[in-house]
Amino acid sequence: MSSNVPGDLKYTRSHEWVRRLPSGELEIGITDHAQEALGDLVFVEVPAVDRTLARGEACAVVESVKAASDVYSPLAGRVVGSNAELATQPELLNQDPYGRGWLLRLAPEAGEGDAGLLSPAEYVKFLEESQ
């Protein structure tokens, strides 16, 4: 099963995606591959605004009928927004993982770059290798 990997995002090996917004803030969610593997999502817990996150820190929980999974912050920074719509419509994460299913927005810590994140091509390769 091939999953959708948009060309304008960065990725992690734990299946998060990162979008750099014009403001310099980062939007974060889970990939199409991740939502597909989890199945129907029924519960999403997003972080509180102003919470400070370290790189790799568990910052959200996505729970499907099958299981609960942690979402890890791809970069260090301060939470400036989280998707309240997911509280009542967790299925948005299945339907539109790169759009209305976004999880949080982060103001990255000074000096936090894209180092360590995967390009779309690298993420596609990673998915193929982990099949």
Partner 1 sequence: MGLKTPLHDICASQGAKFIDFGGWDLPVSFGSQIEEHHAVRRDAGVFDVSHMGILDLEGARSRELLRELLANDVAKLTSPGRALYSCMLRPSGGIIDDLIVYLRAEGAFRLVVNAGTRGKDLDWIAEHAARAGVQVRERSDLAMLAVQGPKALSRTLPLIPSALREGAQSLARFSALEADGWFVARTGYTGEDGVEIMLPASEAEALWRALGAGGVRPIGLGARDTLRLEAGLNLYGNDMDESHHPLESGLEWTVAFEPRTRLFIGRAPLEALRARAEHPLFVGLVLEERGVLRSHQRIDRARAGAGAADAPAGEVTSGTFSPTLNRSIGLARVARGVGPEVRVDIRGKSHAARIVKPPFVREGRILIDL
Binding site for partner 1 (CB under 8 A): 39-40, 42-43, 61, 63, 65-68, 87
The residue (of 54 and 68) whose beta carbon lies closer to partner 1 is: 68
Residue 70 tokens, joined:
């942690």
Sort strands 77-82 and 52-53 into parallel, antiparallel or unpaired: antiparallel
Instruction: Give the chain's count of helices (H) and strands (E).
Output: 4, 9
Q: What letters, b where the CB count within 10 A reaches 16 and e where it falls short, cover 78-89?
A: ebebbbeebeee
The residue (of 78 and 100) whose beta carbon lies closer to partner 1 is: 100
CB 13, min distance to partner 1, A? 22
CB 88, min distance to partner 1, A? 10
The residue (of 43 and 121) whose beta carbon lies closer to partner 1 is: 43
Instruction: Tell me the β-bridge partners of 113.
Output: none
Which residues does 23 contact at the CB level (< 8 Å), separation at least 6?
none
The residue (of 41 and 75) whose beta carbon lies closer to partner 1 is: 41
CB 115, min distance to partner 1, A? 31
CB 128, min distance to partner 1, A? 18
